[in-house]
Amino acid sequence: MALGPTLGTGLFVGAGQALAIGGPASLLMSYTFLSLLDLLHVTNGFRYMTDSMGFAAGILRWYTLAMFVPYEITTAMVNLGLWNPGSTIALRTLLIMTIVVGSNFTPERHFRASERLFTRVKIGTIACLLALSLSIGFGGASGHANWGFEYWRKPGAMHEYLFPGSLGRFWGLLQCVLHSSIAFTFAPEIIVHRAETVELVHTEIGEVLDPTVQANFPSKVAFDVATTTFPYILSSLAMGIMAPYNDPLLTNNGAGAGLSPFIIGMNTARIRIVPVTATLAILVSSVASARSFLFLASRALCAMSELGHVYRVLKVRNRWGVPYVAVSATGLFALLAFISVRISSSITTTYFLLFVNSSGYLSWLVSCVIFRYHRQSSGLRHNTNSYQFAIQPFGTYFGALMSVILLMSNGLAGGIGGPRPGPQIARILAAYCSVPIFAILYFGHRFRTMVPYRTSHSDPGVHGGHELRRKTVFQVSEPQQGGSSQVASPGIV
């Protein structure tokens, strides 16, 4: 359940835009670089933060996860080739929205069972697409010559985007990183939550965590990062084989998001039935991701309510354990998908991408700030913390620097001249509006509570202070009205 939502998100369709802007080599380097950033951010440990920072980070995470819902629904429309506004978009959007929101009102045990099934479908889809790419690219299609890395040679490995020469290749690489980031948004936080839940469970039942289990946290985190990022890196390599970066279908003739490189390659190879099957599999993956993100967002909101940070009514559950008020409130974000009824779904997807990316970069930056306060408060001078790798703290400093650079560059990607979709002012607003929202949440909470700027723990020890850290990082909510206990996500309180 922890890594299922991120698997496949932004990969099948969103990566096509990145390929068109940067070329196959830039796409591969982008996914490799972002995988490294994932590893740097997940080692931070969401353990020490101020109350106001925790509140702002929690709301940031909630509304960003909720924004993934209309993004995935719109991506599903793009995947089906429904780019033009109209009544057809409205009807199909309504159908998918009903499935996504309605499934979140089912009993949690049923939802989790279906989530495991959809995760297997995603894994199977990626595996089949990779196998087909290898087969088609190296002569497996009947009557076709070997493609191999032909597209790396012609039209080229790196696209000179907007500028000639090395500057154009660098700019294309930067834009490629920005468009690829959505596949990694909130993956570090989810991986941290997955690793630290083990300690939380032991602490809640009054047991002392086995030191050997505690020492294995870095290796567990590294394994989760590998299982998350390795399929992405392979897929980025395969997409560079399946379609050239100058294929107009990748960006709907420059309008925004277009067809998946996998679908373009299958159509080029003229294989019957397989493109239709692949399109349906990608559609199912988009719908499944939308369901998962709505689940995560609504549970994060419910957990904040149970901790007293937002309205109490949001924690109310029915007899199946579903926080239906939180699900309903979060589900309202899905209505944003109807923007594509008036604006091309290709352009709408780009707006959502810019907004989600900026929130993701902010969350990464917050994680680095948390780690710094953790080191200051616990008096660490050397790598004595079992939760971090030998590369720390320098890895965190590098991650913070990259988060700031990407956040600032996201606005350039939204506003620079060239073949970019939509009005320039709309792109800039989508790329930057998360920054003032986060600032308002943080300073508004500080002003309301008048709490001095301090960290919210008291024990400077590395492994001590479980009770206080539990309040800062996670909280196991009491089951209400027959519902099962829920664990809040890291960094939301």
- At 420-465, the pLDDT tens digits run 556 778 888 888 999 999 999 989 888 876 645 444 443 333 333 3
Position 79, amino acid:
N
What confidence tier does 384 reach under pLDDT thresholds 50, 70, 90? very low
Query: Under a CB-based contact definition with an 8 Å cutoff, are residues 474 and 201 in contact?
Result: no
Whether the CA torsion 76, 79, 84, 86 is positive or negative: it is: negative
Assess whether pLDDT exceeds 90 at residue 389. Answer: no
Predicted confidence at residue 6, as pLDDT, reads: 63
Query: Under a CB-based contact definition with an 8 Å cutoff, are residues 293 and 69 in contact?
Result: yes
Q: Most confidently modeled of 190-194, 200-204, 221-225, 326-330?
A: 326-330
Assess whether pLDDT exceeds 50 at residue 481. Answer: no
Lowest mean pLDDT among 69-83, 251-265, 345-359, 454-468: 454-468
Give CA–CA dist 32/48, Å, rounded.
Answer: 29
Q: Where are the alpha helices (DSSP H) in 379-433?
A: 394-415, 424-432
Assess whether pLDDT exceeds 60 at residue 382. Answer: no
Query: Under a CB-based contact definition with an 8 Å cutoff, are residues 278 and 124 in contact?
Result: no
Selection from 2, 19, 270 nearest residue 155 by Cα: 19
Residue 208: both structure tokens together: 């002392």
User: pLDDT higher for 204 or 213?
Assistant: 213
Q: How far is CA 363 from CA 40, 92, 210, 398, in A?
A: 13, 33, 31, 15
Mean pLDDT for 154-166 is 87
Selection from 411, 454, 417 nearest residue 429 by Cα: 411
What confidence tier does 99 reach under pLDDT thresholds 50, 70, 90? very high
SS3 184: coil
The whole-model pTM stands at 0.82
Assess whether pLDDT exceeds 70 at residue 325. Answer: yes
- At 403-424, the pLDDT tens digits run 899 998 887 755 444 455 567 7
Assess whether pLDDT exceeds 90 at residue 96. Answer: yes
The CATH architecture that domain 14-457 belongs to is Up-down Bundle (1.20)
Mean pLDDT for 147-163 is 85
Q: How far is CA 451 from CA 310, 369, 440, in A?
A: 17, 19, 16
Give CA–CA dist 5/187, Å, rounded.
Answer: 9
- At 25-60, the pLDDT tens digits run 999 999 999 888 877 766 544 445 677 888 888 899
Position 407, amino acid:
L
User: pLDDT higher for 488 or 318?
Assistant: 318
Q: Where are the alpha helices (DSSP H) in 243-309?
A: 261-269, 274-306
Predicted confidence at residue 492, as pLDDT, reads: 34
Assess whether pLDDT exceeds 90 at residue 66. Answer: yes
Position 309, amino acid:
H
Give CA–CA dist 234/31, Å, rounded.
Answer: 9
Query: Under a CB-based contact definition with an 8 Å cutoff, are residues 218 and 389 in contact?
Result: yes
Predicted confidence at residue 376, as pLDDT, reads: 65
Kindly give, in sequence order, each residue whose CB lies less than 8 Å from that of residue 135, ignoring residues fewer than 6 positions away. 141
User: pLDDT higher for 394 or 387?
Assistant: 394
For residue 476, which phi and psi values (nearest 5 degrees)?
-85, 115
Give CA–CA dist 193/187, Å, rounded.
Answer: 10
SS3 476: strand
Q: Where are the alpha helices (DSSP H) in 104-137?
A: 108-137
Predicted confidence at residue 105, as pLDDT, reads: 93
Q: Most confidently modeled of 18-27, 220-229, 365-374, 416-425?
A: 18-27
Predicted confidence at residue 55, as pLDDT, reads: 86
Give CA–CA dist 185/432, Å, rounded.
Answer: 16
Q: How far is CA 124 from CA 8, 110, 274, 281, in A?
A: 11, 21, 14, 9
Selection from 418, 357, 350, 286 nearest residue 16 by Cα: 350
Position 51, amino acid:
D
Assess whether pLDDT exceeds 60 at residue 473. Answer: no
Angle, CA 338 vertex, CA 335 and CA 339 arms, to 5°: 115
- The DSSP H or E segment spanning 17 is helix 14-22
Position 475, amino acid:
Q
Query: Under a CB-based contact definition with an 8 Å cutoff, are residues 420 and 427 in contact?
Result: yes
What confidence tier does 466 reach under pLDDT thresholds 50, 70, 90? very low
Q: How far is CA 268 from CA 79, 141, 265, 297, in A?
A: 17, 10, 5, 39
Give CA–CA dist 239/15, Å, rounded.
Answer: 8
Chain mean pLDDT for the chain: 76
Predicted confidence at residue 12, as pLDDT, reads: 76
Query: Under a CB-based contact definition with an 8 Å cutoff, are residues 49 and 491 in contact?
Result: yes
Predicted confidence at residue 472, as pLDDT, reads: 35
Selection from 50, 47, 11 nearest residue 129 by Cα: 11
- Domain ranges in the chain are 14-457
Predicted confidence at residue 379, as pLDDT, reads: 57
Predicted confidence at residue 480, as pLDDT, reads: 42
State in Å, rounded, how far the first CA of the chain is from the last one.
21
User: pLDDT higher for 12 or 324?
Assistant: 324
- At 11-24, the pLDDT tens digits run 777 788 889 888 99
Predicted confidence at residue 436, as pLDDT, reads: 93
Assess whether pLDDT exceeds 80 at residue 354. Answer: yes
